[in-house]
Amino acid sequence: MLDQTLTEQAAALRRGDYSATELTAAYLARIGARNAALNAFVTVTAGAAGQAAAAADAALAGGDAGPLAGIPIAHKDIFCTDGVRTSCASRMLDNFIAPYDATVVQRLAAAGAVMLGKTNMDEFAMGSSNETSFYGPVRNPWDLDRVPGGSSGGSAAAVAAGLCSAATGTDTGGSIRQPAALTGICGLKPTYGRVSRYGMVAFASSLDQAGPMARSAADMALLLQAMAGFDEHDSTSIDRPVPDYSAALEAPLTGLRIGLPAEYFNAGLDAAVGAAVRAALAELERLGARLVDITLPHTALSVPAYYVVAPAEASSNLARYDGVRYGYRADNPADLTDLYKRSRSEGFGAEVKRRILIGTYVLSAGYYDAYYLKAQRVRRLIREDFLGAFGQVDVIAAPTTPQPAFRLGEKQHDPVAMYLSDIYTIAANLAGLPALSVPCGLVQGLPVGLQLIGRDFDEARLLNVAHRYQQVTDWHMRRAPEA
């Protein structure tokens, strides 16, 4: 049963092939056997999972079960969970017990999903390798000496290693799509505002977006259906009807125009990764799609613009962790100033401090116009590039990452090299557009991803293209080798 996709498990539970209690117990046993090597989970909620599974079994027997009844999932440890630690993988929040559920958590539970626990991540979602966690790095199931990507690396590794049916993630500059690509699973970043951010610990508020990570496009459609929709608790939530994502999966691709941006197939792309992506594009062409060469001229400015905007918002959001109102407090402070200084110095890790310092600098008097305001203008140009391209094409296709998973420690001391890991994913966040990654090949035994970017609120079309691709390929069914 653990080799099945979420969609297959949901059907099996309804047929009575096995119970939610049996499925949950099987995953908990696998977590017990594999998590020490992977470090994917930071908290396992076995007791609560058992109770939720029993409730799901009762609902299935009573005929009033939700669409995800009995499906065991994991939540990235950035989502508040009532009565369960929400650490954001930081010493600063190591002892924080959330008093309520994030909207995403609440909606998935209402659909019947069973929470197995909370997954590891880069501290406060700042990282591209999952090496900045206070609880240590996550390891890639395909090669334990390599990173799973970040910041949702724990969620990605948990799904790829079969420790849960699916998981939630957040994507600020590619943190769902990049780890999905590096671990051979599927990940979707919805349109900004499509999924509520209420109860999600903020990193960069104008960029953060929650989304699903799973085995297949059909799985992601089921999960997004439960997660999406207006939330009055989130001022950035969009009040717009949610379509039936599963119903749109089977639409034919005949005549679909897929744009290939020249800037995403450049010299920085690993040749083997590029070949795998082009092979996937050829499959889409055989399904009836038409490939169109396009250009997104401001793409090269996306990484520098992102690393002004995101740290600026992070420095503001993380100002609340001062040892007084929230988070870790230093022992025996000499005075109030010492309390502030040592609480933040001891509570935050190096990457978080680096981004707070960058953000404070670019927002400071005398530099605001030169950096932050200019970055926001660049952001507008990047979005206008996409809007112009969508006048010619329906979907944009590109690699998700420039190379397969790199080795642990390989880029940890070179922040610029690390930041370039997200070079193909950041622009969609700056533009607020939906984008997903699906597995499209193996390079030296490691997974690579095909990225699809869509118009605002066009998640249904992205899922449709990904699903039709997965009907004629089996890359999403490949499993990481057991260690």
pLDDT of residue 418: 83
Classified as helix, coil or strand, 291 is strand
Q: Has residue 4 got a pLDDT over 90?
A: yes
Taking the alpha carbons at both ends of the chain, their separation in whole angstroms is 20
Looking at residue 434, what is its pLDDT?
Answer: 98
What does the pLDDT read at residue 151?
95
Cα separation, 136 vs 456, in Å, equals 36
Residues 292-342: pLDDT tens digits?
A: 999 999 999 999 999 999 999 999 999 999 999 888 999 999 999 999 999
Q: How far is CA 310 from the centre of its chain?
A: 16
What pLDDT is recorded for position 366?
A: 87
Active-site residue, from 128, 129, 151, 302? 151
Give the model's pLDDT for residue 446. 98
pLDDT of 257 over the 80 cut: yes
Q: What span, in angstroms and rounded, lies between the C-alpha atoms of 429 and 314?
A: 15
**Confidence bin at 98 (pLDDT 50/70/90):** very high
Both structure tokens of 301: 């400015």
Residue 411 structure tokens: 């880029």
In the set 76, 118, 189, 411, the catalytic residue is 76
165 assigned to active site: no
Q: How far is CA 474 from CA 249, 442, 470, in A?
A: 17, 12, 6
How far is residue 72's CA from residue 55's CA, in Å, rounded to a whole number? 13
- Give the pLDDT score at 341: 94
Please compute the mean of the pLDDT values over residues 8-17 and round it to a whole number. Answer: 97
Indicate if 151 belongs to the active site: yes
pTM confidence score = 0.96
Cβ-based neighbour number of residue 44 at 10 Å: 17
pLDDT digits (tens, 9 = 90+) for 340-361: 999 999 999 999 999 999 999 9
Identify the pLDDT of residue 483. Answer: 61
Bridge partners of 443, per DSSP, are: 446
Q: 35-82: per-residue pLDDT in tens?
A: 999 999 999 999 999 999 999 999 999 999 999 999 999 999 999 999
CA dihedral 233, 100, 69, 238 (to 10 degrees): 10
> Can 128 be counted among the known catalytic residues?
no
CATH class of 6-252: alpha beta
What size, in residues, is the chain?
483
CA separation for the pair 360, 275 (Å, rounded):
42
**Per-residue pLDDT, 268:** 87
What's the whole-number average pLDDT of the chain? 96
- The DSSP symbol for 85 reads B
Query: Active-site residue among 90, 128, 175, 302?
Result: 175
- Compute the distance between CA of residue 177 and CA of residue 76 in angstroms, rounded to an integer: 14
Q: How far is CA 419 from CA 232, 295, 303, in A?
A: 34, 23, 8
Among candidates 208, 427, 171, 433, which has minimal Cα distance to 301? 427
pLDDT of residue 421: 81
For residue 434, the Cα-to-chain-centroid distance in whole angstroms is: 12
Q: What is the per-residue pLDDT for 417?
A: 78
